[in-house]
Structure 1
């Protein structure tokens, strides 16, 4: 699916990336710096697919095909591929599908509109720091454009909103994953907002993977929770049940041995006999009889 709002991707290398044992070993082999650059270029071309690299079969092997894309020597690429596979940094999913294991945790992205908004705010902040300068007409025009952009976003297709939500909060979304999410809406009759809710719950709980989101949606579908109202009601009922459970678990201050629910079942005849014996004992105590 082609999205009107273009998305930009980038790699966020950790501070100790080049200090890792794998990178130190890669740089120590002959032509290590070249192989490191090849690895970084491979990461860049895999960003939009979440770390996947596909061999289309246009060349004799993956190395030759990659050389056409990243403009590096085929033999150097072959050595890099062998090293990455041996260290578990590159895994082969099939004859045509490869995966760079480090990419998902390093990928960053934003939509074109978000990029423009961010840059506009940065420029606006820089202008505000200089109180001697008045706002230029160009800045006013930019602000008007941003407002129009925000208004346009309100009318976006629900599927586009889901894609943007997933890619901004979880990771790049591939075609197969998108089709699964769409089926919850088109085949199961689930509201698009319910899918967005599941994505948000996963992100808030630090579960940034597709399987977790799919499990949430499957559970809701099986329970007939297909609308956002039903999801909210489910959350409300769950919270109330937790409060009720905590209340019921509170122990009473009345000891068990006190028998607060005791009922006297002694017959009238027995009571009269007990009362007669009680009177006799009292009379003996008064007369001093033993």
Structure 2
């Protein structure tokens, strides 16, 4: 993701009811500093409010303590407090997400930064390609550098196209997500799941792929008699794109399997998407 050098803070943020309530508890100053630092990290990541080092590497409490120069216990107190006030969402995999990021920040402006960065990279690669052609006087450049430049340009085009995805409005995307969320058995980590869903759709994943993955996972759970407390949180399932995992059932005669009409459930969800 293209890093940005700014985030938006409202001048009335300290009039907010949640901020005022936080100010009344111990370590309030430290908690509010950590809140602002988390907003800054989310801006640097520039991925719909998610906070991570790499996609599969969230920050640990110890990492945040080092970055923010705060005791680990203070970091944990802040994360718990902010989570209780629904200001952040803590995924089971440790991923932190700013709740309602699009309301806090200028999301369109941040998307523009990403697209501009892709455009600059594309123009730079094109200049390099032309320089290579000029030096070699060989129109059919077959060198490794020329091939890599073409590949990089194609990748950057893909990035732009992904951000200019299906054209669905935010409301339409959320409506489609709600239909899938109703189907998922363990409804925890909804905000993380929603952000991961939007990212997956931008990357070209279809609702049908996700739906089929959820249905396969439910069959797997039923066949193995998995209890609710051991089911993967919805936020984790979506964030890890677990619809692509292999949920093969090794025991086709597992108890309870015959009593659940998964095909009917799958048809029901498919009909909802067609409405």
Structure-2-length-normalised TM-score: 0.41
Structure-1-length-normalised TM-score: 0.39
- Higher gyration radius (CA): 1
